Structure 1
Amino acid sequence: MGQAFTAFEMLLDIDQRCRQLANELPSQEARLQTWSGIGFGLAGQWYVAPMGEVAEVLHEPHLTRMPGVKAWVLGVANLRGRLLPVMDLCGLFGQEPSSLRKQRRVLVVDHGDLFVGLLVDEVLGLQHFALHSLDLSPPAYLQEGTAPYIQGHFHREQDWRVFSPLALVQAPGFINVAL
């Protein structure tokens, strides 16, 4: 028969085995740092918005049109008792929106007094990139008007442009929607 261990001796044995096995694991510093964002498509290009800048993603809501506004202002929607102005990003940048209406989504920006929805062609889900692979230089091709809102890009299968919805909605001309 084997030797009987006290509860304390068993805990010491478990601790020792855990420490031995932990030596084979990568250290905290060796883990890859990642950058995460919401991926979306717009006029055939892929973008990713920083996680902290998109409050939620919605299906295209029922909208009430507003008279006397620019064509890219689609209207307002009632989102849980709050009026959400919805803007068409393709229209804003002079592009044709996707003809596949079922794939369109609205990225909601809720920051301070700013509460606005940005209609995109499709949402491609949560995207993760190695932080060290962020290229801060402008990507090879940018859609007209998007440059001030692009904060670099990642390359995985193709370029993912880092698009800042917050920078867009804070731009002086964005709020001025009247004709």
Structure 2
Amino acid sequence: MDQVAAQELQGQEEDTQKGKYPIFVLENENYGLEIRYVTEIIGIQLITEVPELPEYIRGIINLRGKIIPVMDVRLRFKKPFKEYNDRTCVIVIDIRDVSIGLIVDSVSEVLTINKDEIAAPPDMSKGGNKYLKGIGKVGNEVKLLLDCDKLLNEEETKNLSEI
């Protein structure tokens, strides 16, 4: 395949992913991630604890021979811990060339949300919405759209890449 055809194919792939957001649930709130960050969604796995990591980094999992740190998104957002069950999922994402698993209560669907249906997050000077990229309006509901790049700062990303 020549380079032009390969670029066209990649452009088509990006178009089919544009505006798609896997929606996951934490408590009663719906969150979305840009699908381009997501590599896969799996059920909860056996987690091996690693000492001296922040509380919200629950440990590591072995995913087909690849070691992946897992973050409990509830704990990252300062929500109470909830025991994992058969609905608990791990959304594996890539942030700055580091794979990390996000532990969420459940994944409900993949929605297409167009740019004109996304509002800017409210300005909270205290950093209360530093993880939000926007608010998706879907019918009468809202979906909080996360900024994957802000889930971990550069130092945390560097530390996790060394595990």
Given the alignment of the two structures, is residue 155 of structure 1 paired with residue 137 of structure 2, yes or no?
A: yes
Given the alignment of the two structures, is residue 174 of structure 1 paired with residue 148 of structure 2, yes or no?
A: no
Residue 10 (structure 1) aligns with: none
Give the deviation of 1:67 after TM superposition.
1.7
Given the alignment of the two structures, is residue 164 of structure 1 paired with residue 147 of structure 2, yes or no?
A: yes
Residue 10 (structure 2) aligns with: none
Given the alignment of the two structures, is residue 114 of structure 1 paired with residue 98 of structure 2, yes or no?
A: yes
Given residue 65 of structure 1, which amino acid in structure 2 is its aligned partner? E
Question: Are the structure 2 counterparts of residues 173 and 80 from structure 1 closer, same or farther at C-alpha, using a change threshold of 3 Å?
Answer: same
Residue 76 (structure 1) aligns with: 60
* CA RMSD, 1 decimal: 2.5
Q: Which moved more, 1:107-116 or 1:56-65?
A: 107-116
Give the deviation of 1:111 after TM superposition.
4.3
In the TM superposition, what whole-angstrom CA distance separates every residue of 1:71-125 from its partner, at most 9, and x where no partner exists? 2221111111110111111112210244561111111112453111111111112
The runs of 5 or more residues in structure 1 that have no matched partner are 1-33
The runs of 5 or more residues in structure 2 that have no matched partner are 1-17
Question: Are the structure 2 counterparts of residues 101 and 69 from structure 1 closer, same or farther at C-alpha, using a change threshold of 3 Å?
Answer: same
5 Å-filtered alignment, 1:4-15, equals none
Residue 128 (structure 1) aligns with: 112
Structure of greater Rg = 1
TM-score, normalization by structure 2: 0.74
Does the aligned pair in 1 maintain the 2:121–2:129 contact within 8 Å? no
Tell me how far apart the structure 1 counterparts of residues 120 and 43 of structure 2 sit (CA, whole Å). Answer: 31
Secondary structure of 2:122's match?
coil
Paired positions, count: 140
Given residue 41 of structure 1, which amino acid in structure 2 is its aligned partner? V
Tell me how far apart the structure 1 counterparts of residues 96 and 74 of structure 2 sit (CA, whole Å). Answer: 25
Secondary structure of 1:148's match?
coil
Give the deviation of 1:150 after TM superposition.
0.8
Runs of 4+ with deviation above 6 angstroms: none
